Chains A and B, each alone.
Chain A
Amino acid sequence: MHELGIMTGVMDAVEKSAREAGATQVLEVTLSVGEMTEAIEDALQFAFEVLSEGSDLSKGAKLTINMIPPKSKCLECGAIYTHDRFHMLCPECGSFATQLLEGRELQIDSIEVDLPDKGTENTEESASLGASSDRA
């Protein structure tokens, strides 16, 4: 049960970016979570509800989680395949030598925010701030 700790980190990062963009409200947060991590979708949702309720900036925001299924590459025959959490062996040649390509993600993809209504100038500003966040 470390989802609350994980979500605390998410909220800190989200609200920092939202403030930098001059946002008045966070509307939606989108995460990518690999199925090979120990983070449980329901527990993340619950932690998000609790934390966003307690914050003026994020109150009422929605959390979208994209669960990423595991995908591996066989280092012997080169096959690339999706699998569940329990079966890592190459389904083509049965090799033990495999490398996980996807499934361990824990990432904040994007946020939707409300910006104060100041006309088109502000929209451009938020776009450039979004670009600067990409580098972080």
Chain B
Amino acid sequence: MAHIDLKQPILDKNDQLAAELRQRFADNHVFVVDLLASPGSGKTSTILATIDALRDEFNIAVIEGDIASSVDAERIKAQGTPAVQINTGGACHLESAMLKRAIDMLDLERLDLIIIENVGNLVCPTDFDLGENMKVMILSVPEGDDKPLKYPGVFQAAEAVILNKVDTLPVFNFDEEAFTSSVNQLNPQAPIFRIAATKEQGVHEWAEWLADKIRAVQ
């Protein structure tokens, strides 16, 4: 019997490819956001509202990750923004090899911001580096204020938390104080942006915060 020391990261291949992508993004001065959220939390609506707020200053493209279909990419394209659909074919998260294929279809030199809409899932995407500048997570009010307690990983991986559908607060039993306190415990440095993406409420503050990050890499 022989003992072999490996000390090898399990996600080695993914992480190496992610590092290559990160370098390409940096070389082209593109800021990349990986958006994580549940299905139905308003990822695509938030992206559309963000594009609206930032399109005068920045060239933006969107990468849509879904298990199947291209409905999200079609929604983005209908607004005049380039969008590439990745179908994961059942996989619960995006990996850097999938992202690379989509990135190769974009003209990085012309872009300032790429928004990646990850597969709707609060668990799996958090462990996979895609070479992004930051992960941002969206929670919507109807999902409930207890989600940070149930899915701590995604709240910790995120550099900012967006609370969407705040216009529905009066009709849901959502304890915003408890939510804020849980997020602060898990991820003390993350700002929380309260928005209602389809009502254009609160989007400005989030977009301005993001715009500062994009300007910083230009």
A109 and B7 contacting across the interface, CB-CB below 8 Å: yes
Q: What's the nearest-Cβ distance from chain A to residue B39, in Å?
A: 15
B92 and A1 contacting across the interface, CB-CB below 8 Å: yes
Residue interface mask A17-46, B partner, CB < 8 A = 1: 110010100010001000011110000000
Q: What's the nearest-Cβ distance from chain B to residue A40, in Å?
A: 9
Contact for A86 among B3, B91, B149, CB less than 8 A? B149
Q: Which residues of A contact B188 (CB under 8 A)?
A: 88-89, 95-98
B2 and A113 contacting across the interface, CB-CB below 8 Å: yes
> How many angstroms between the C-alpha atoms of A39 and B92 in the bound complex?
13
Chain A residues 5-24 with CB under 8 Å of chain B are 5-6, 9-10, 13-14, 17-18, 21, 23
> How many angstroms between the C-alpha atoms of A113 and B184 in the bound complex?
46
> How many angstroms between the C-alpha atoms of A38 and B3 in the bound complex?
28
B124 and A38 contacting across the interface, CB-CB below 8 Å: yes
A111 and B153 contacting across the interface, CB-CB below 8 Å: no
Q: Which residue of chain A is the closest to B123 with respect to CB atoms?
A: A38
Q: Which residue of chain A is the closest to B156 with respect to CB atoms?
A: A36
Q: What's the nearest-Cβ distance from chain A to residue B124, in Å?
A: 4
A130 and B4 contacting across the interface, CB-CB below 8 Å: yes
B5 and A27 contacting across the interface, CB-CB below 8 Å: no
A96 and B2 contacting across the interface, CB-CB below 8 Å: no
How many A residues touch B, CB cutoff 8 Å? Answer: 46
> Are A86 and B185 also in contact (CB < 8 A) when A31-B10, A133-B8 are?
yes
Q: Which residues of B contact A129 (CB under 8 A)?
A: 4
Q: Which residue of chain B is the closest to A33 with respect to CB atoms?
A: B10
Q: Which residue of chain A is the closest to B9 with respect to CB atoms?
A: A107
Q: Is B105 an interface residue (CB 8 A)?
A: no
Cβ contacts A to B, 28 pairs, < 8 Å: A6-B127, A9-B10, A10-B10, A13-B12, A14-B6, A17-B4, A21-B4, A27-B1, A36-B153, A38-B153, A39-B127, A85-B152, A85-B153, A86-B185, A88-B186, A89-B185, A96-B184, A96-B188, A98-B188, A106-B9, A106-B10, A107-B7, A108-B9, A109-B5, A110-B3, A115-B1, A126-B2, A134-B7
Q: Apart from A13-B8, A130-B2, A136-B6, what are 18 other A-B pairs with CB-CB below 8 Å?
A: A6-B127, A13-B12, A14-B6, A18-B4, A85-B152, A86-B152, A86-B185, A87-B185, A88-B185, A88-B187, A89-B188, A97-B189, A108-B6, A109-B5, A110-B7, A114-B1, A114-B2, A136-B8
**Residues of A that sit less than 8 Å from B by CB:** 1-2, 5-6, 9-10, 13-14, 17-18, 21, 23, 27, 31, 36-39, 85-89, 95-98, 106-115, 123, 126-127, 129-131, 133-134, 136
